[in-house]
């Protein structure tokens, strides 16, 4: 991770001016040092906190310690290119807004990056106003993502409390099977099914299977298609 602003003492970066108003940091990944410097200068002048990385590897190495923030990615970089980096981020479940920059704008690359979820595709050189419009949209999107991630984390933590048996019973019931059929399928008594069901609902702090389904959706857990209305 680089801080490109060499003229400013390092301590300033610990508590950057305007950080509290602007909130999330912006990550710049570009092998071109001039581009990193100029973006860092423009972003900090506009009151944003920005961190630069000279390669995809450098960014990925630091990723576990980074706060969520919009990512500005250059397309053409040695070793791991921008598109490849986006794929890796998507695979890792990173849903922070991604914006792509390139000097050689061609349609296939633009479409590929948009399909990968890039919110913006900037043709270098671009003016800072264009970038700022996209950054504002990206910050709004980031807030939505952060909230959804938070909800997912809380919901997942609840599901972690369930025993494998309770999960099994819930899955069969959500599948639309009556207790009797569930009991038969799992070779349990109806009473045991009812007990597991009640315990599971209590642990998940919900009162109905419909709420379990909603919670599972929040947690990003795949459920069998429910056959009952």
Partner 1 sequence: MERLIYVSESNIEESEADAVIAQIVANSQSRNAQLNLTGALIFTGTHFAQVLEGCKKSIDEVMASVQRDRRHGAVTVVDRSPINERQFSKWAMAYQGPSQFVSRQVTRLIHTTPGAEQKRATEWLTQLAREFLKP
Which residues bind to partner 1, rule: CB under 8 A?
107-108, 110-111, 114-115, 118-122, 130, 133-134, 137, 141
Q: Which is nearer to partner 1, 73 or 174 (CB)?
A: 73
Q: Which is nearer to partner 1, 148 or 202 (CB)?
A: 148
Provide, rounded to whole angstroms, the least separation between the CB of residue 115 and partner 1: 8
Q: Which is nearer to partner 1, 95 or 165 (CB)?
A: 95
Provide, rounded to whole angstroms, the least separation between the CB of residue 112 and partner 1: 8
Instruction: Give the count of alpha carbons within 13 A of 185, CB side only.
Output: 16
Provide, rounded to whole angstroms, the least separation between the CB of residue 89 and partner 1: 17
Phi, psi angles (nearest 5°) of residue 228: -85, 150
Q: Are 117 and 94 in contact (CB under 8 A)?
A: no
Provide, rounded to whole angstroms, the least separation between the CB of residue 28 and partner 1: 18
State how far the Cα of 132 lies from the Cα of 136, in Å rounded to an integer: 6
Q: Which is nearer to partner 1, 111 or 202 (CB)?
A: 111
Q: Are 38 and 61 in contact (CB under 8 A)?
A: no
Provide, rounded to whole angstroms, the least separation between the CB of residue 169 and partner 1: 35
Q: Which is nearer to partner 1, 140 or 202 (CB)?
A: 140
State how far the Cα of 103 lies from the Cα of 108, in Å rounded to an integer: 14
DSSP 158-216: HHHTS-HHHHHHHHHHHTT--HHHHHHHTT--HHHHHHHHHHHHHHHT-SSHHHHHHHH
């Amino acid at each position: 991770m680089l801080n490109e602003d060499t003229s400013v003492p390092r301590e300033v970066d610990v508590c950057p001016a305007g950080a509290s108003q602007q909130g999330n940091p912006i990550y710049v990944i570009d092998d071109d040092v001039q581009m990193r410097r100029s973006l860092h200068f423009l972003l900090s002048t506009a009151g944003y906190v920005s961190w630069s990385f000279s390669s995809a590897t450098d960014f990925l190495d630091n990723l576990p310690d980074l706060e969520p923030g919009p990512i500005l990615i250059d397309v053409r970089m040695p070793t791991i290119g921008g598109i490849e980096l986006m794929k890796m981020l998507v695979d890792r479940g990173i849903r922070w807004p991604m914006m792509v920059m390139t000097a050689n704008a061609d349609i296939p690359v633009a479409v590929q990056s948009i399909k990968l979820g890039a919110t913006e595709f900037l043709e270098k050189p671009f003016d800072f106003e264009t970038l700022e419009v996209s950054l504002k949209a990206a910050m709004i999107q980031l807030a939505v993502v952060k909230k959804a991630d938070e909800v997912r984390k809380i919901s997942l933590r609840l599901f972690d409390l369930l025993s494998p048996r309770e999960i099994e019973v819930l899955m069969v019931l959500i599948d639309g099977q009556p207790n009797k059929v569930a009991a038969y399928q799992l070779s349990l008594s109806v009473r045991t099914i009812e007990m597991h069901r009640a315990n599971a609902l209590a642990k998940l702090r919900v009162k109905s299977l419909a709420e379990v389904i909603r919670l599972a959706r929040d947690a990003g857990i795949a459920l069998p298609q429910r056959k009952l209305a």
